[in-house]
Amino acid sequence: MTALTRLTLTDFRNYASLTLKLDNRPVCLYGSNGAGKTNLLEAVSQFGPGRGLRAAQLSEMTRHGASAGWTISGTLDDEQKIGIALEGAGPVKRAVRIDGAPASPGDLAERMRLIWLTPAMDGVFRGGASERRRFFDRLVMAHQPSHGGASSRYEKALAERNALLERGHVDPAWADAIEARLAEAGAEIAINRALVLADLQAAIDARPEGHFPKADLSLEGEAEAAAVRGEDFRSVFDLLVDAYRSGRRRDIAASRTLSGPHRSDLGVIHRPSGAPAGDASTGQQKALLIGLVLASAEALSVNGDGPAPLLLLDEAAAHLDPDRRRALYDELAAMRGQAWLTGTDAYLFEAFGARAQRVRVEASSAVLDA
């Protein structure tokens, strides 16, 4: 079991100071809109790689009027102490500590895997490829923590190549060097995506038929297609290098890089109907998303080398009918990783019974129900 059994915040969002002592059961946060429920989920999400579930700048999360930056600390499974602090007078950064010793975000990611679902993701199937890519890459990072580093290296090299293209003339030697770095990071991204797609599809196929429909997944992108076929790193790297070199003239005309993993897409088919997820009803899309998140957590629990993930579900149950809500809670209660959920009213979580703990959230405070 992986659970956050203590959470302490200082000057984070609307919380000047807060400590929650918990057990390993699901955590149900309830309270009126604007009370700070999602802020608590965002705080937990800071223990993972990246900017958290709102993708906010680090300084944005400091409480208004605070004299210094924010801090978040916690205890994993009543044993391991973890903490993050915002530091830096100029460009701010996160300082990580594990059991009191300095550590890297990667060290923390190996101990705590996070998967989340927010209302902003409800339109992922109707939106553009970039939205699906971000959604899927977040799942990939939970399975492969190094994916975040590869993505950062790719974005940096991509920005450098695009800057060259905007000049309208590319020095071949300079472009070769940048494209090699771009292809190296891109090959790692594509292989990570292909590996996680296979694990996720297997977990989906193994799920029983029920309230959350199964999906058929695919990756649309040349590098990912090669990785799915089982081609090795060198082959995917060479494919990307060739694509960047042969596409220079076209990319100069467009002033941007038109091929590579940053253009790939996640294909999702609603299996019961055989239709693309984008054509499904709003309710079907919501159920598909929840099913994908549950399958990802199951895949990590079964196949992952690290701990079981924590699931952060913001307002996930509010628009589910009672049967689907009950089915969701049954699955969450049985998982090896702790789930955190938000809702406006305590009654939304009645189907959990004694299998969950409830926290009443009011302005700048949160109290565990007796």
CATH number of 214's domain: 1.20.1050.90
Task: Answer yes or no: is 120 within a domain.
Answer: no
Do residues 151 and 105 both lie within one domain? no
Question: Which of 267, 289, 304 corresponds to the end of one domain?
Answer: 304
| Rounded Cα gap, residues 198 and 204, in angstroms | 10
Overall number of domains in the chain: 2
Task: Answer yes or no: is 320 within a domain.
Answer: yes
Q: Tell me, what amino acid is at 95? A: A
Residue 83 near residue 8, CB atoms below 8 Å: no
| Rounded Cα gap, residues 65 and 68, in angstroms | 9
Question: Which of 304, 323, 354 corresponds to the end of one domain?
Answer: 304
Do residues 142 and 236 both lie within one domain? yes
Task: Answer yes or no: is 118 within a domain.
Answer: no
**What pLDDT is attached to residue 179?**
98
Residue range(s) defining the domain that contains residue 248: 126-304
Q: Which tens digits make up the pLDDT trace of 85-129?
A: 987 655 678 899 999 999 988 888 888 999 999 999 999 999 999
Do residues 192 and 321 both lie within one domain? no
Quote the distance between the C-alpha of residue 198 and its chain's center: 18
Do residues 167 and 68 both lie within one domain? no
Q: Per this entry, what is the length of the chain? A: 370
**What pLDDT is attached to residue 88?**
61
Task: Answer yes or no: is 232 within a domain.
Answer: yes
Do residues 286 and 165 both lie within one domain? yes
Task: Answer yes or no: is 182 within a domain.
Answer: yes
Task: Answer yes or no: is 60 within a domain.
Answer: yes
Residue 303 near residue 228, CB atoms below 8 Å: no
3-state secondary structure 278-323: HHCCHHHHHHHHHHHHHHHHHHHHHHCCCCCCEEEECCCCCCCCHH
Residue 234 has a CB neighbour count (10 Å cut-off) of 9
Question: Which of 286, 304, 322 corresponds to the end of one domain?
Answer: 304
Which parts of the chain sit beneath pLDDT 70?
A: 88-91, 303-305
**What pLDDT is attached to residue 134?**
94
Do residues 181 and 286 both lie within one domain? yes
Do residues 134 and 265 both lie within one domain? yes
What angle separates helix 147-166 from helix 172-206, to the nearest 10 degrees? 140
Do residues 99 and 166 both lie within one domain? no
Do residues 341 and 323 both lie within one domain? yes
Residue 167 has a CB neighbour count (10 Å cut-off) of 10
Q: Does residue 196 sit in helix, strand or coil?
A: helix
**What pLDDT is attached to residue 327?**
96
β-bridge mates for residue 217, sequence order: 268
Task: Answer yes or no: is 289 within a domain.
Answer: yes
Nearest residue to 211 (alpha-carbon basis) of 107, 310, 331: 331
* Burial class of 127 by CB neighbour count within 10 A (0 to 12, 13 to 18, 19+): middle
Residue 112 has a CB neighbour count (10 Å cut-off) of 23
Do residues 95 and 138 both lie within one domain? no
Do residues 157 and 248 both lie within one domain? yes
Do residues 54 and 180 both lie within one domain? no
**What pLDDT is attached to residue 256?**
97
